Amino acid sequence: MTPDVADSGTVALLDGTIVPYRPIRPGDREALQRFHGRLSGASIYFRFFGARPYLSDAMSRHFTELDGRDRFALVALDPVAPDEIIAVVRFDREPGTDSAEYAAIVVDAWQGHGLGLGLTRRLIESARTRDIRSF
């Protein structure tokens, strides 16, 4: 099974909604920028610890062009509009270790439904297959 398939699936939310997820891809740059544009200032602040009103092309490349082993991310897709990202969870391995930095963000309209937790659980599974032992 290819990594993309092995790391793809669905998350069942608290209300029964089924949300697909998969690894982020370089072709997701524009969708990631649209996603960022739908985040509230508070959500952006809690993720980036400061104001970031838009996601530049350089930043969107940084967040979408990953090696899949030391830098990895999953995106949840809107079940009604599958070209739209509604959440991102990611890790970046600390060089030379089995530890990684973890980050997560869910678009405001989808917060409070269990999506962040469900997607994080999937990220942990993916991290374990890449020998990540702690976030």
pLDDT digits 0-9 by tens, 105-117: 999 999 999 999 9
Tokens of 32: 């990631």
Would you say how long the chain is, in residues?
135
Structural domain that includes position 87: 3-129
The answer to whether residue 135 is domain-embedded is no
Which residue did the predictor score with more confidence, 36 or 16? 16
134 located within any domain:
no
47 or 33, which is more confident?
A: 33
Is pLDDT above 60 for 1? no
pTM: 0.90
CATH label of the domain that carries residue 90: 3.40.630.30
Q: Is the pLDDT of residue 118 over 90?
A: yes
Residue 21 has pLDDT above 70, yes or no: yes
Buried b (16+ CB within 10 A) or exposed e, 19-34: bebbbbeeebbebbbe
pLDDT of residue 59: 84
Q: What is the domain count for the chain?
A: 1
